[in-house]
Structure 1
Amino acid sequence: MKTYPKDLPSIGVVLIYLDEALSILKRAIRSIIDRTPKSLLKEIILVDDHSRNDDLKQDFDMYIKTIEDQNPGLLMTRVRHSEQLGLTTARISGWKAATADVVAILDAHIEVHDQWAEPLLTQIKGDRKLIVSPVFDRVNYYDLEVVNYIPASHAFDWALWCMYERFRPEWYKLNDPTLPGKSPSLMGILVADRSYLGEIGVLDGGMKVYGGENVELGIRVWTCGGSIEVVPCSKIAHIERSHKPYMPDFSIAMKRNALRVAEVWMDDYKHNVNLAWNLPFKDHGIDIGDVSERKELRKRLNCKPFKWYLDNVYPLLDTWDDILAYGKLKNLDANMCLDQGPVPGHTPIAYVCHFYASQHTYFRETGELYIGGIKSHKYNANRCLMDDGNKDNEPGLNDCHESLKKRIEIYWDFTQGKELKNKKTSRCLEIMNSKLVVQVCTGQRWEIQNVIKPF
């Protein structure tokens, strides 16, 4: 029911693809042409990150020629990489080729809904330092059915994996679901004033493949004078792929990119990324590349510190200020490690040390000891090692908040290389005949892998 101004800026749509199905590319292009006013759509830029599919050669060329013949006023620009450079670099290539007032950088496996562009352009017309995102609906790759998604902000954890979160409480108080909501980050698809995006450094071209560049952009925009919004009245349907075309284990690139973001933007909080990935603070062996240009960009833009971002933009992130140590927790006498055991389940076990996620432990200043990971957000509960004092001598692993409600003891005294003793029950965590128990202390020694602060 909303109406939008007629004198909106022009838009150029960038579609990035790698070995995409030809039919999907046709659907994307056709939906953009059919559902964007001709007075607004200046160009479509197709960036091919070195595809090898045969039908993306001559057949696709013929299709583009047909589109150009049918739409004489529309610019169709092709950018082909001679080698695979990754999604982040491909997005930069698309931005460089664009000439419209506003650039929309999209995946190629999308279809736009009616009136997708007008709400976004209206927001940018009102504030050129605003970067906006539509709401994504999901399209099943196996039957092309559209699954509606509700508007939500684009958030992330300390490993820089993306997720959806509710908007801030003030958005809901306005009781108008058509209003844009502030977002701490972006999921990757973005729409921005083309010149402004260039002024603030586009994306970090030093990143590999993709992942983390969207969080980096979010932090940079907010701390350097801009803002990010999700616009509910703009909708794009996104086809989830059955596989990722770039690499089978995407976490390798993601880990490197996350460390790069941390080094440039996160100040005293940069080691939280190491914590999230269970990497040592020093000598982690991952080359993040040269970040001097990005640090100089931050200085030139006179950006606010990351603490400001945490306080004002994303206060839901747990700052982890009181983490004392993390990594595998090894019993030196039994030569075995603490492990969360079967999931779902509430019984930790002793197991051969293997360094994987089930043995990631975190020791807090409070005496809480988490096993199997740590949550990044204040609204999440971690799983605490507990001693309920029962005679079965079996330790437990449960939601920390629930344990406190039930008056189950979750606080432990621990000194590196010495015993691990429950503060209330005075029983120690030990290993007897390869079984994890809590019992009268016999002096068994534990050692945690990475120490942040002496304790």
Structure 2
Amino acid sequence: RGLAPTSYLHPPGLLPHDLFTKYGYNVYLSDRLPLDRPIPDTRYPSCKVKKYPHDLPTLSVVLIFFNEAMSIILRAITSIINRTPSHLLKEIVLVDDYSSNEDLKGYLDEQIKNYNAKHPGLLKIVRHQKREGLTQARISGWEASTADVVAILDAHIEVNVGWAEPILSRIKEDRTVIISPVFDNVHFDDFELLEYAVSADGFDWALWCLYEPLPKEWYACTSDPSLGVFLHCSQTPMTGPFQVFLGEIGVLDGGMHIYGGENVELGLRVWQCGGQIEVLPCARVAHLERAHKPYMLDLSIAMRRNALRVAEVWMDDYKYMVYFAWNLPIENPGIDYGDVSSRKELRKKLNCKSFDWYIKNVYPNLIPLTTVVVYGTMKNTLNENICVDQGPVPGNTPIMYDCHAYSSQVLKTSYLTATRNLLLSFALDSFLSHASFVLQGSSVMNKKTKRCLEIVMDNLSSPYRLVMQNCTGQKWNVQHTVKDWGKRSALR
């Protein structure tokens, strides 16, 4: 009873290792686990006794997938049916972003019919006719939903007991709140569940989401763990009121490509346009991690493009921080982020607040580097094929290396201050202390010793090495210049 379909669903000849490479997790094991397998209840003890009203908004659950293993999808569906009150669960909407796996076509349709025979009208599927990416898949699911509230999730999840009631109760209290559950982790190899601590979600200037410690005020209220924790980016799965607040401000930016940035865009739009985002500790969802993402090896390409799109619409003068984080020239970055005119019109129509308001009132932990005037790779004019590099880690000795412009060569946290001190991120401070640096085409001198950062021939390990020596007139250039950006009063 409850066993998932076995390996006959997969192309013949695929061994467990092949399946792992294809999916990024242990499909061989998943196919042999019960669809209705029990998982540990990771809620706080007080959450387990908390009571919620019977009369709550109805719920549509959207499951997004692309070439997902069949047993994973069926286990997600089964967990939602078994652990969501039937009078609240109106429908489960599957969104297939143009999968190529044969079992996700006719066989999946058969499985949907089987579920609907037991639960009439509960399941429906939306199939894209071309690969459109995560953002558009979420939009498609949202548009196909008909309940009061929509929960949009990856298909590789298992909801935990009591997950829906705290979400629906909070949204009933405040229609402008977008909610996220706490996501526990399912290991890709053995499918064991690891409880994750409650944390706040933030982002960096590259617009990657990251976990942050909970604010102190939350700990003062731990007697009621249903208290929401503010978020700054909507995590990959999201929930929110259907045709209420999201109907007013829009769901996601359909101009986003594939993956990345759409969560931060939604977070900024919600906060700046009159709402808020919370995570509810009493709502728990188990999320299956992948060892690798087989369908897109380099997410940074789409992420970089989408980040610029977000910056141009929502971040005003602070948008330059995003260019800085991605090591792109502020003018003519060479990235086509698409037409954002309609998004700017939406912001104007909604009369949304400025990003300056957001960073000062909502997310003060996101610190702008307002004195940045140069950033990127650093080269000596004697040889512009080599760049200053971080060198071996651990260690404290920078080196010269063939230019590749990856993170070890990019002065990501380095900037020239108003006092013309060059602060370098990869241990050059051990060479320089505080150096005098006159922007581009100039020497780099230690103000105390009056010696310069220069390069000399080194036949032992590489053609050149870095030294501090009596100045001979060598010149340095940093890749990008910000001109007078650091003087703008709006960013002080």
TM, length-normalised to structure 2: 0.83
Q: Distance in 2 between matches of 1:47 and 1:435?
A: 55
2:98 matches 1:68: no
CA contact 1:414–1:421 (8 Å) conserved in 2: no
In structure 2, the residue matched to 1:423 is: 447
Corresponding residue SS for 2:373: strand
Note the alpha carbon deviations across 1:224-276, whole angstroms, 9 max, x for none: 00000000000000001233244221111111000000000000011111111
Q: Which moved more, 1:99-108 or 1:437-446?
A: 437-446
Q: What is the aligned counterpart of 2:473 among 425, 443, 451?
A: 443
In structure 1, the residue matched to 2:34 is: none
**Structure 1 residue 369, shift from structure 2 partner:** 4.1
Q: Distance in 1 between matches of 2:51 and 2:426?
A: 49
CA contact 2:80–2:158 (8 Å) conserved in 1: yes
Corresponding residue SS for 1:123: helix
Q: What is the aligned counterpart of 1:345 among 395, 400, 423?
A: 395
Q: Distance in 1 between matches of 2:421 and 2:90?
A: 57
2:338 matches 1:295: no
Q: Distance in 2 between matches of 1:275 and 1:52?
A: 38
In structure 2, the residue matched to 1:406 is: none
Q: Structure 2 matches for 1:17-416, cutoff 5 A?
A: 17-72=65-120, 74-176=121-223, 177-195=225-243, 196-335=245-384, 336-361=386-411, 362-365=414-417, 367=420, 369=422, 371=424, 383-387=426-430, 395=431, 409-416=433-440
CA contact 2:435–2:444 (8 Å) conserved in 1: no
Corresponding residue SS for 1:125: helix
**Structure 1 residue 155, shift from structure 2 partner:** 1.2
Q: Which moved more, 1:21-30 or 1:186-195?
A: 186-195
The amino acid of 1:354's aligned partner reads H
More strand by share: 1
Aligned identity (percent) is 56
Note the alpha carbon deviations across 1:83-137, whole angstroms, 9 max, x for none: 1110100000000000000000000000000000001111101100000000000
Structure 1: where are the runs of 5+ without partners?
372-381, 388-394, 397-408
CA contact 1:35–1:112 (8 Å) conserved in 2: yes
CA contact 1:209–1:246 (8 Å) conserved in 2: no
Corresponding residue SS for 2:55: coil
Corresponding residue SS for 2:428: strand
Note the alpha carbon deviations across 1:8-46, whole angstroms, 9 max, x for none: 100000000100000000100000000000010000000
Q: How big is the alpha-carbon RMSD for the aligned residues of Structure 1 and Structure 2? A: 1.6
The amino acid of 2:449's aligned partner reads T
TM, length-normalised to structure 1: 0.90
Q: Which moved more, 1:184-193 or 1:334-343?
A: 334-343
**Structure 1 residue 384, shift from structure 2 partner:** 4.7
**Structure 1 residue 334, shift from structure 2 partner:** 4.2
CA contact 1:141–1:242 (8 Å) conserved in 2: yes
Q: Distance in 2 between matches of 1:333 and 1:206?
A: 44
CA contact 1:327–1:449 (8 Å) conserved in 2: yes
Query: Matched residue pairs, number?
Result: 425
Q: Distance in 2 between matches of 1:78 and 1:89?
A: 15
2:18 matches 1:8: no
Q: Distance in 2 between matches of 1:109 and 1:69?
A: 24
In structure 1, the residue matched to 2:39 is: none
The verdict on how the C-alpha distance between 1:368 and 1:13 changes in structure 2, with shifts beyond 3 A counting, is farther
Structure 2: where are the runs of 5+ without partners?
1-48, 458-463, 487-492
Q: Distance in 1 between matches of 2:437 and 2:323?
A: 25
